[in-house]
A and B are shown apart, each in its own frame.
Chain A
Amino acid sequence: MNLRELWNYRDLLRMLVERNIKVIYKQTALGITWVALQPLIAATVLAIIAGRVAKLPSDGTPHFLFVFCGLTIWNYFSQIAQRSSTSLINNTQLISKVYFPRMLIPLSHTFSTLVDFAVMLVMLFIFMVIYRITPTLRLVAIPGFLFLTAMTATGVALWFSALSVKYRDTNYALPLFLQIWMWASAIIYPTSMIDSSRWQTIFALNPVVGFVEGFRWCVLGHSALTPNMLWITIGMSILLLLSGAFFFRRVERDFADII
């Protein structure tokens, strides 16, 4: 792993991040409003399904707020995965003409997607005021869980972006995969629905569960997150990140030839 080289190219990373942010909603009438509009609509629909149709529990929090809170952190995760999985192919011209650490391209999305996250976080705080949820000191732990999310997402992003260079299948498989992943993670239902703690621990092998529950713990003040689950989540995200980085490095040398 060539961390030193990545560091030397930090200016390029910064420019790529800036580019991602500037470009994403260019030539759309609503512009940055989309960042707010998309999750708002999604959360409304999901809250109705969870609360009215499926009558799922929400640990005593209003359903909309509960779902919006989960989506805030889930969207950060899934958008990184989605945007970076096509990022290498979208930059074919760059990869076949110029040398730079290729990892910067997927990595740049981990940073630029923070803008979307920030917008949702502000909206979340507004909804907390509306629903009269008193914030606690636990809010201070948000960056920690955000970091965990970023690590996991980057790991997934590295795996899928590297695979996409050789197999364009990822373009079709990933959205489907992410959809299933979302339902399998405690986004619109709480982990507390699972009553045995042993099964909860196994459930936590899905690292998304850990940071979603952790994020809820920070914002809503309660969650089923146990220290055991947290350790598993940390372990899983480190594993994903390292394996992703390793795999990426291994196939990166052939990118220019096969892309």
Chain B
Amino acid sequence: MSEIALSVQNLSKSFRIAHQGLRGYKTLHDELATLPRRLAQRLAGNGRSTSETFWALKNVSFDVKTGEVLGIIGSNGAGKSTLLKILNRITEPTIGGVDIYGRVGALLEVGTGFHPELTGRENIFLNGAILGMTRAEIKRKFDEIVAFAEVERFLDTPVKRYSSGMYVRLAFAVAAHLDPEILLIDEVLAVGDAEFQKKCLDKMEDVAANEGRTVIFVSHDMDAICHLCSRCILLSHGEIAKTGNAADVVGAYLGGEQDQSPEIDFAPIESEASFQFAGLYNPKGQASSSFSADEPLLLKSSFAVRRQIEGLQLSFSVFNFKGDRIFYSTISMAKPVISVEAAGEYNIAAVIPGRLLLPGRYSISLALHTPKTKLYDLRKQALSFRIVGTIGDRYDGFASDELGQIYADVKWSRSDQPDRQSSLHGNVSMLASASR
């Protein structure tokens, strides 16, 4: 059982980012028109002035044993999808190589290759073939696929008439009945209703438990990773940041071992309004990037406004580790009003209350802008921090994705009287105090 199913050596992948061309593909005319200039540039030795090389993956090496379920995690843009695409041979690495011993099947995105004009039945065969199944295989599994997708009645309807739920169910059903030796899965669980998601998860567990099946699983769902994977790789900016036991790696990722500094001085930019400094502080006034769930968090920022700007606002957003925006706040919400329109230097502080964010990793983006007209300065993920503790351990026994996005400071009470009218009255004082 310790055979190698897949071996990745020194894998690197670069993309060229064009600074002016915007589009990756060019017209022949463009190429011809810029030919003299590019030739001149090449001769002068600075041919890269219009494009920049971006390394999506840098020197990634790992082995996967037969029968192993490997998880790959990392924030958006860490290179996870690029890695899967290379493993699946959709794109080729710039440097390095991959040795694969066995048939690879991939669930990169459900429903690829579905043709809207074809019926469900026809699409099962087409999609199956695209995913690498033979016709005989699909025939054998046809009934199983149809039953799994629950679309029996609509088999001879073109899929363009399907509801999105049916579409996704059918797509997953085909993909889930693939029988490769090495299975690559990318976030397919984020589809369908809760019931179908559960079904998918069960099916995946089934697949993973199947002896001899090697699975590589990319997900933002840390519970699923911990649950399904024996080993896990954490990718960060295209490099392997940590590898090991799934729980350890997930812990390191959520805990944020590579914390950023809680204070940051910004390099000046050419703008009429720009940030100079930002920092995070705990209630004791100490700079920190780790806060307990109960305590408030102080965000300080300094910026310069170089001329009077009508309607200028300072705002920030807090994002969770998946990159979802948790909330947004702008200085125009301040009471009493704080104006930052006049030229000058400003020091502004904002308090993010305690008992708002759930434990986890977050980042803050800062912006100076006039709403819907102009962005003067935007600092994406300028600061990052984590919330630790479990708010009085009240959430023990719950999986993190069952908690929602924020901690709601809900007040609970109990009344002895069954009468609706009076129980409402009894709580009026509580409502009043909460709204104050």
Q: Counting CB contacts under 8 A, is A34 at the interface?
A: no
Cβ of B106 and Cβ of A15 under 8 Å apart?
A: no
Complex: A42 Cα to B135 Cα, angstroms: 39
For A105-120 the 0/1 string (1 means CB < 8 A from B) is 0000000000000000
Is A14's CB under 8 angstroms from B135's CB?
yes
With A and B bound together, what is the CA distance between A100 and B91 in angstroms? Answer: 11
Please measure, in the bound complex, the distance between the C-alpha atom of A11 and the C-alpha atom of B129, giving whole angstroms.
Answer: 6
Cα distance, A254 to B117, chains bound together (Å): 29
* B132 to chain A: closest residue by CB: A100
Stretch at the interface among A149-157, A166-174, A201-209: A166-174
List 23 A–B pairs whose Cβ atoms lie within 8 Å, in order of A's numbering: A11-B129, A11-B133, A11-B135, A16-B129, A18-B122, A18-B126, A19-B122, A19-B126, A22-B118, A22-B122, A26-B117, A93-B112, A94-B112, A97-B109, A97-B113, A98-B113, A99-B89, A99-B106, A167-B26, A169-B27, A254-B92, A256-B90, A256-B91
Closest to A89 in B: B25
8 further A-B contacts with Cβ under 8 Å, apart from A23-B118, A95-B90, A167-B25, are: A11-B133, A19-B126, A93-B112, A96-B90, A97-B112, A98-B88, A99-B104, A166-B26
- Are A167 and B126 interface neighbours, CB within 8 A? no
Chain B residue contacts of A16, Cβ below 8 A: 126, 129
| A residues 182-235 in Cβ contact with B at 8 Å | none
Contact residues of B between 110 and 132, Cβ < 8 Å to A: 112-113, 115, 117-118, 122, 125-126, 129-132
Looking at the complex, which one of B27, B91, B131 makes contact with A167 (CB distance below 8 Å)?
B27
Q: Decide: B112 and A258 in contact? CB cutoff 8 A.
A: no
Chain B proximity mask over A239-259: 1 for CB below 8 Å, otherwise 0: 000000000000001101111
Nearest neighbor of A95 in chain B, beta-carbon distance: B90
Judged by a CB distance under 8 angstroms, whether B108 is at the interface is yes
Residue from the list B29, B89, B91, B129 in contact with A12, Cβ < 8 A: B129
Whole-angstrom distance between the Cβ of A259 and the nearest chain B Cβ? 8
> Which residues of chain B have C-beta atoms less than 8 A from A14's C-beta?
129, 135
User: What's the Cα separation between A14 and B327 when bound, in Å?
Assistant: 51
B119 to chain A, nearest CB (A): 9
Render B11-42 as a binary contact track against A, CB cut-off 8 A, 1 for contact.
00001000000001111110000000000000
Encoded as 1 (CB less than 8 Å from any B CB) or 0, chain A from 20 to 42 comes to: 00110011000000000000000
Q: Which residues of B contact A94 (CB under 8 A)?
A: 112-113, 130
Given contacts A15-B126, A100-B130, contact A27 B108 (CB under 8 A): no
Q: Which B residues touch A26, using CB under 8 A?
A: 117
- Which of B109, B112, B113 gathers the greatest number of chain A CB atoms within 10 Å? B113
* B85 contacts partner chain A, Cβ-Cβ < 8 Å: yes
Give the number of chain B interface residues (Cβ < 8 Å). Answer: 32
Q: How far is the CB of A240 from chain B (nearest CB, A)?
A: 21
- For A259, list chain B residues within 8 Å (CB): 25
Q: With CB as the reference atom, state the residue of chain A lying closest to B138.
A: A11
Most buried by B among A15, A166, A253: A15
A23→B115 contact, CB < 8 A: yes
Is residue B230 contacting chain A, with contact meaning CB distance below 8 A?
Answer: no
Establish whether residues A167 and B108, one from each chain, have CB atoms under 8 Å apart when the complex forms.
no
Knowing A98-B106, A99-B89 touch, does A169 contact B28 (C-beta < 8 A)? yes
A257 B106 Cβ-Cβ under 8 A: no
Assess the B130–A98 pair: CB atoms within 8 A.
yes
**Closest residue of B by beta carbon distance from A166:** B25
Contact flag A98-B108 (CB < 8 Å), given A12-B130, A166-B26, A167-B25: yes
The answer to whether A99 touches B88, judged by C-beta atoms less than 8 angstroms apart, is yes
The answer to whether residues A97 and B15 also contact, given A15-B125, A19-B118, A22-B117 and a CB cut-off of 8 A, is no
Q: How far is the CA of A253 from the CA of B126 in the complex (A)?
A: 24
For A256, give its contact among B29, B85, B113, B125 (CB under 8 Å): B85
Expressed in whole angstroms, the Cα–Cα distance for A11 and B108 within the complex equals: 21
Q: A19-B115, A23-B115, A97-B109 known; A168 and B130 CB under 8 Å? A: no
> A95 vs B88: C-alpha distance in the bound complex, in angstroms?
12
B134 within 8 A of A: yes
**Chain B nearest Cβ from A107, distance in angstroms:** 14
Is there contact, CB below 8 Å, between B90 and A97? yes
How far, in angstroms, from A96 to B24 measured CA to CA in the complex? 14
CA of A23 to CA of B129, assembled, Å: 17
Chain A residues within an 8 Å CB radius of B24: 257-258
Which 9 A/B pairs are nearest by Cβ-Cβ distance? A15-B129, A12-B129, A97-B112, A99-B89, A256-B91, A26-B117, A253-B92, A11-B135, A256-B90
CA distance A93 to B106 in the complex (A): 14
Contact, CB under 8 Å: A11 / B106 = no
Q: Decide if B25 touches A27 in the complex (CB within 8 Å).
A: no
B109-A23 in contact (CB<8A): no
Is the beta-carbon distance between A98 and B112 smaller than 8 angstroms? yes
In whole angstroms, how far apart are the Cα atoms of A97 and B107 in the complex?
9
Chain A proximity of B33: nearest CB distance (Å): 13
Residues of B within 8 A of A253 (CB): 91-92
Q: In the assembled complex, which residues on chain B have CB atoms less than 8 Å from the CB atom of A23?
A: 115, 117-118
A27 touches B135 (CB 8 A): no
Interface residues of B in 87-105 (CB under 8 A from A): 88-92, 104
* B130 and chain A: residue at smallest CB distance: A98
Encoded as 1 (CB less than 8 Å from any B CB) or 0, chain A from 83 to 98 comes to 0000000000111111
In the complex, the answer to whether A98 meets B131 with C-beta atoms within 8 Å is: yes
Query: Which residues of chain A have C-beta atoms less than 8 A from B132's C-beta?
Result: 12, 100
Q: CA separation between A27 and B26, bound complex, in Å?
A: 34
**What residues on A are CB-neighbors of B28 within 8 Å?**
167, 169
* Complex Cα spacing A199 to B271, Å: 70
B113 touching A93, Cβ below 8 Å: yes
Taking A11-B129, A22-B117, A94-B130 as contacts, is the C-beta distance between A99 and B135 under 8 angstroms?
A: no
Q: How far is the CB of A26 from chain B (nearest CB, A)?
A: 5
Q: Which residue of B lies closest to A172 (CB)?
A: B27
